[in-house]
Amino acid sequence: MPVKDCKNVWILAEVQHGKLSPTAYELLHAGRKLADDLEEKLCAVVLGNHVGKYARDLIEHGADVVYVCESDQLENYVDDTYAKVLTDLVQTYHPNKLLIPATNCGRALSAKTAVFVGTGLTADATQVQINKADGQLYATRPTFGGNLMATITCAKTRPEMCSLRPMAYDKAPLQKGRKGEIVKFPFTKGKHASLAKFLEFIKSKEEGLDLSEVTVIVAGGRGVGKKEGFHLLHQLAQRLGGAVGASRGPVDSGWIDYRYQIGLTGRTVKPKLYIACGISGQIQHMAGVSGADVIVAINKDPNAPIMKMAHYAVEGDMYEVIPAMLEALS
Ligand SMILES: Cc1cc2nc3c(=O)[nH]c(=O)nc-3n(C[C@H](O)[C@H](O)[C@H](O)COP(=O)(O)OP(=O)(O)OC[C@H]3O[C@@H](n4cnc5c(N)ncnc54)[C@H](O)[C@@H]3O)c2cc1C
């Protein structure tokens, strides 16, 4: 299909374990701006079993069209099946841009779909915009271990695909009563089914809540000093109904798993309250927390950079300050 004949901005509204993922609203926010700049429609794709119920909600958050493909074969995420359906949709309707959340499943799905379709993909972008001169998608992401920000384009093939980091964008606002079109897309067993089968989902046994699910994050840095020190952070996080995060220092030291790392080469978070314990506030860490509403820093060194960036700076040893906080809270 010639590039000029591909129209509209698509987003994949991911469904995880039967629930619409919050990334759907973030992608609608990012996609709405792209679609408006191009004067094209914003379309959402939702795949799964009994997922048509989400179509209205997606329209009320900015989608003009929602493509729904429902089947018991899509009940659980399987790369191959999902990529075949998404490829079929792309080859039927010829979108111009396609955004997919850079979640675990989204990263796999975007790569496989890009290969099936034969187009380019910018993985794990943190920002997307339209170059007004030629309508191309400019997707920006950290590269070379976070030392550079690269803006990547895909000039010759469509759709220009991009997986977008969760929490890189705010959620699109609700516009009650907004109207749009719902298009049902059939699941075709012969064409879409895969040899791969879903057997079982095994939830991680790691302590605590996921960083994307909470409004309070208690993060530890190299100042925590030892693996066991994170138990204290877990206690505070639990008391506040939040989750534990970390800077790169403790991850590199093996005190906590990489999936808790916040920053340029870790995750981007947007909590209401971010309590940084024994974190100096280097730019690569702060890049992941700039969306936090309130930052509290607990640090022994009053001259640590974070003490100037935080809304509230507590000078002291975290092993004295956190127990005092726990006591006050109880
Ligand atoms: C390309 C690249 C990408 C990177 N990506 C990331 C990233 O994604 N995320 C990230 O976090 N970093 C990242 N980094 C590393 C970053 O530059 C810093 O090295 C790192 O953030 C420092 O971690 P920290 O603040 O925990 O440790 P430090 O800088 O060592 O700071 C420890 C702090 O703890 C304080 N302290 C010590 N003991 C106590 C105590 N008992 N109580 C209270 N305070 C105490 C100290 O005063 C100090 O301020 C990256 C670096 C590079 C080069």
pLDDT per residue over 39-78, tens digit each? 999 999 999 999 999 999 999 999 999 999 999 999 999 9
- Beta-carbon contacts of residue 48 (< 8 Å; ≥ 6 apart): 15, 18, 70, 74, 75
Partners of 160 in beta bridges: 97
> Residue 113 — pLDDT band, cuts 50, 70, 90?
very high
Q: Provide the residue type at 129 as one letter.
A: Q
Whether the predicted pLDDT of 81 surpasses 90: yes
Say how many Å lie between the CA of residue 225 and the centre of ligand 1: 12
CA distances from 16 to 13, 46, 75, 98 (A): 10, 11, 10, 19
Whether the predicted pLDDT of 253 surpasses 70: yes
> Torsion angle, CA of 43/79/101/23, rounded to 10 degrees?
80
Q: What is the pLDDT of residue 145?
A: 66
Whether the predicted pLDDT of 328 surpasses 70: yes
Are 13 and 89 within 8 A, CB to CB? no
pLDDT per residue over 175-223, tens digit each? 999 999 999 999 999 899 899 999 999 887 765 677 877 899 999 999 9
Token pair listed for 9: 């901005």
Q: Is 47 helix (H, G, I), strand (E, B) or coil?
A: strand
How far is residue 122's CA from residue 125's CA, in Å, rounded to a whole number? 7
Query: What pTM was estimated for this model as a whole?
Result: 0.82
- Spell out the domains of the chain, with CATH numbers in brackets: 3-192 (3.40.50.620), 211-329 (3.40.50.1220)
Which residue lies with its CA nearest to atom 7 of ligand 1? Answer: 263
Are 198 and 78 within 8 A, CB to CB? yes
- Going by their DSSP bridges, the two strands 15-16 and 19-20 should be labelled as antiparallel
Per the model's pLDDT, the better-predicted residue between 265 and 173 turns out to be 173
Could you tell me the sign of the dihedral formed by the alpha carbons of 245, 168, 154, 133, in that order? Answer: negative
Q: Note the helical H segments in 131-197.
A: 189-192
Q: Which protein residues are within 6 Å of ligand 1, measured from CB? A: 145-147, 221-223, 247-249, 261, 263-266, 278-280, 282, 284-285, 298-301, 304, 317-319
How far is residue 112's CA from residue 70's CA, in Å, rounded to a whole number? 20
The dihedrals phi and psi of 86, each to the nearest 5 degrees, come to -65, -40
> Residue 282 — pLDDT band, cuts 50, 70, 90?
very high
Helix axes 104-117, 79-93, angle to 10 degrees: 50
How far is residue 87's CA from residue 253's CA, in Å, rounded to a whole number? 42
Token pair listed for 61: 């958050």
Quick count: other Cβ atoms within 10 Å of Cβ 5? Answer: 9
How far is residue 58's CA from residue 120's CA, in Å, rounded to a whole number? 26
Taking the mean position of all CA atoms in its chain, how far away is CA 158? 23
Token pair listed for 18: 């039967």
Q: Which atom of ligand 1 is nearest to the CA of 225?
A: 38
Whether the predicted pLDDT of 155 surpasses 80: yes
Q: Is 133 helix (H, G, I), strand (E, B) or coil?
A: coil
Are 13 and 65 within 8 A, CB to CB? no
Per the model's pLDDT, the better-predicted residue between 207 and 144 turns out to be 144
DSSP 275-320: EEES----HHHHTTTTT-SEEEEEES-TTSTHHHHSSEEEES-HHH
Mutate to test the pocket of ligand 1, among 124, 148, 247 (most ligand atoms within 8 A of CB): 247
Find the mean pLDDT for residues 12-32.
96
What average pLDDT does the chain have?
A: 95
Say how many Å lie between the CA of residue 309 and the centre of ligand 1: 14
- Beta-carbon contacts of residue 203 (< 8 Å; ≥ 6 apart): none
Are 303 and 286 within 8 A, CB to CB? no
Q: What is the pLDDT of residue 143?
A: 82
Say how many Å lie between the CA of residue 283 and the centre of ligand 1: 9
